[in-house]
Amino acid sequence: MGDTWYLDELFLKIQGRQQHLWRAVDEDGDVIDILVQSRRDRRAAARFFRKFLTGQGREPRRLVTDKLRSYSAAHQTVMPAVVHITDQYANNRAEVSHQPTRQRERQMRRFKSAAHAQRFLSVHGPVQNLFRVGRHLLRAVHHRLSRTQAFGVWREVTCV
């Protein structure tokens, strides 16, 4: 778990109503936490901050977001000691992390409810973290070893 966390939100259409998927990603691209909410204001951002802080048990050193004002307002109330970065293109790591969600959403022909999206994506993120390996950074031997370890963990978790 890295010291820099990237936050972003994206719009989901669930049963004709617009919902917001808030996502926190660490510096390695691993999903830390997600939250599906109907609002995108300061209170919603503060709720998301508190949720992923309690899940992690510690604060990051740096927080990277886009320029949505809700982030700045929630940052000042929930964790003012953390450095908040809003530079252009700094948040691309979180933006790219939405792609697997969009792919699964298309395959599933949309989410049926906000609770369904929350349940599914809360599990999908950690499972994706387990199997997503930076292949271009590894030699073939190390890649096979990491895949073997990931499938070993998967067999333990699923009791296969």
Could you report the per-residue pLDDT of 31-52, keeping only the tens digit for each? 888 899 999 999 999 999 998 8
Report pLDDT for 129.
72
pLDDT in tens, 113-160: 888 888 888 887 777 777 776 666 678 888 788 888 888 888 888 886
Q: How confident is the model at residue 63 (pLDDT cuts 50, 70, 90)?
A: very high
The answer to whether position 144 is within a domain reads: no
Q: How confident is the model at residue 26 (pLDDT cuts 50, 70, 90)?
A: confident
Report pLDDT for 69.
92
Residue with the larger pLDDT of the pair 108 and 65: 65
Number of alpha carbons in the 13 Å side-chain half-sphere of residue 45: 22
The answer to whether position 152 is within a domain reads: no
The answer to whether position 150 is within a domain reads: no
pLDDT in tens, 101-113: 777 777 777 888 8
Q: Which two tokens stand for residue 40?
A: 């995108």
Q: Which two tokens stand for residue 55?
A: 């899940």
Q: What HEC string does the chain produce?
A: CCCEEEEEEEEEEECCEEEEEEEEEECCCCEEEEEEECCCCHHHHHHHHHHHHHHHCCCCCEEECCCCHHHHHHHHHHCCCCEEECCCCCCHHHHHCCHHHHHHHHHCCCCCCHHHHHHHHHHHHHHHHHHCCCHHHCCHHHHHHHHHHHHHHHHHHHCC
pLDDT in tens, 77-105: 999 999 999 988 888 878 777 777 777 77
Residue 125: domain span: 4-131
pTM: 0.76
Burial class (CB in 10 A: 0-12, 13-18, 19+), 156: exposed
Q: How many degrees, rounded to 5, is the angle at CA 22 between CA 70 and CA 106?
A: 140
Average pLDDT, stretch 60-77?
92
CATH number, residue 35 = 3.30.420.10
Domain count, the chain: 1
